[in-house]
Structures are given as C-alpha cells and as structure tokens.
Amino acid sequence: SQTIHQWPATLVQPVGSPLSLECTVEGTSNPNLYWYRQAAGRGLQLLFYSVGIGQISSEVPQNLSASRPQDRQFILSSKKLLLSDSGFYLCAWSVRGQGQPQHFGDGTRLSIL
Amino acid sequence: AQSVTQLDSHVSVSEGTPVLLRCNYSSSYSPSLFWYVQHPNKGLQLLLKYTSAATLVKGINGFEAEFKKSETSFHLTKPSAHMSDAAEYFCVVSPPYTGRRALTFGSGTRLQVQP
C-alpha cells in the first residue's frame, strides 16, 4: 500500500532563518505531488505542485520554493522565513489521471518567532 | 470553472443522533467529488469519493454521501454520530480532466459531537 511521510511534525524557527520540509511517498511511482498551507481557521491553499522530477509549478508568488530531486521526494524550502510563513504545511500525492483524489501526509506545524 | 460551498461552518449534534453536512458545487463539467476529514493537527483523510458511478457513495466510518445533479449537491450523512467524529470536514470538487487546479476545496465544516 501507499504511504506518505512528512517531517518534522512541528518546527519553531526564528524570523530570517532558512527552512527545509521534506515529504516522501512510498508504494507508488510517478505520483503528482503537492504542497499546501493551511492557516489557522482557514481552508487549504495550494502552494506548489509537481508532475515529475524537476517539474515544479507555483500557484502563488511568495517567500517559498519547492524542489523534486527524486520521483517520490518533494521538498519545501525558504532562504529567509517571514512571520507570515507560519502555518500548517501539508504534502499530498495523487495518481495521474482524471478526477483522482489526493492523499495527505500528517503535516508540519511551523511557528515563526 | 468550478467552485464548492459548504453551507455550514459549524454543526453541533448529540452523540447517537444523525449527522448532515451540506455541500453544493458548481462545475462546467461532470465533476468528481470527495469528502475529507481532518482531526486536529493531522492531515486530511479521504472519507469517500464520487466518480460518476453510483450516486449514493459509501465511505469509511459509516459515512455516506448522495450525489444529486439536479440540486448540484453532495451532502455527507451518518446515521449515528460518535464522539470520535468530531473534526473538520472538507467537501472537494475535481473536474474530469487533469491539470494544476485539479482540486477545489470548500471552506470546511467543523463538527462538534456533544455527549
């Protein structure tokens, strides 16, 4: 069966520090991969999605970037964190094809001080 | 274009009573529809999905949803609420084609279950 792993589960970082969140998927090949942010009391905002190695599409301009160095690895990064980057970050994967559901990791709670 | 509206931001029920979470959608095509549940500080878990087969869809944990094209609705129901059902629920719509905006999420309904 397929599984998705995100780490760390929680992270506290000072303003201006770098960020690296990692997500890996097991049990499937060539997945679509997604990064979302969920602000407190709000819905999900799609940040990035990827349909293959090195192929990243950004949904919103911001302080973050994403990379996909391997087929089942998706990394969310920042060179300098802002207070507004605080939130709950979720990674998801889906099989390719029409109308496929996405499957989510357990998320990373990021607090910026 | 597509959109999804969850009609209630909060729903409170007593344990053992029925649950109804309402969702209306708008889509230019015949969509796929999903319900997800999110417990505090957890990711979203897929409850059920509709993909143009049977209009009554059964999911996990006793939940089911009925696709009504004439009403553009996809309401989530459960006959008897359990304390463990307390969570945030998201209705999600997907068009029948792939693309970057593959999923549109509703704003969520927080379900409270009173003992």
Short-list A86, A42, A32, CA closest to A64: A86
pLDDT at A22: 96
At residue B99 the predicted structure's pLDDT band, cuts being 50, 70 and 90, is low
Q: Could you identify the residue written with the tokens 């996405």?
A: A102
Residue B26 belongs to domain spanning: 2-114
The residue of chain B nearest to residue A88, with distances taken between CA atoms, is B41
The pLDDT tens digits for A39-95 are: 876 778 889 999 999 999 888 768 899 999 999 999 999 999 999 999 999 999 998
The pLDDT tens digits for B20-72 are: 999 999 887 778 899 999 998 899 999 999 987 788 999 999 999 999 989 99
Which amino acid, one-letter code, is at A18? P
Give the separation between CA A57 and CA A97, rounded to whole angstroms. 18
A chain contacts of residue B92, beta-carbon cutoff 8 Å: 101
Q: Could you identify the residue written with the tokens 């994403």?
A: A66
Reply yes or no: is the peptide bond before residue B31 cis, omega within 30 of 0: no
Max Cα distance, chain B (Å): 44
CATH code at B106? 2.60.40.10
pLDDT at B102: 63
pLDDT at A53: 94
CATH code at A99? 2.60.40.10
A chain contacts of residue B36, beta-carbon cutoff 8 Å: 104
Give the number of domains in chain A.
Answer: 1
A109 touches chain B (CB under 8 A): yes
Give the number of domains in chain B.
Answer: 1
The residue of chain A nearest to residue B40, with distances taken between CA atoms, is A106
A chain contacts of residue B94, beta-carbon cutoff 8 Å: 99-101
Short-list B44, B70, B36, CA closest to B55: B70
A chain contacts of residue B51, beta-carbon cutoff 8 Å: 99
Say if CB B33 and CB B90 are below 8 A apart.
no
CB contact under 8 A, A105 and B34: no
Surface of A (48-107) touching B: CB under 8 A: 49, 57, 59, 88, 90, 92, 94, 96-107
Residue A39 belongs to domain spanning: 3-112
Which amino acid, one-letter code, is at B2? Q
Q: Across chain A, how many H-helices and E-strands are there?
A: 0, 11
B94 touches chain A (CB under 8 A): yes
CB contact under 8 A, B41 and A107: yes
Q: Indicate whether B101 pLDDT > 60.
A: no
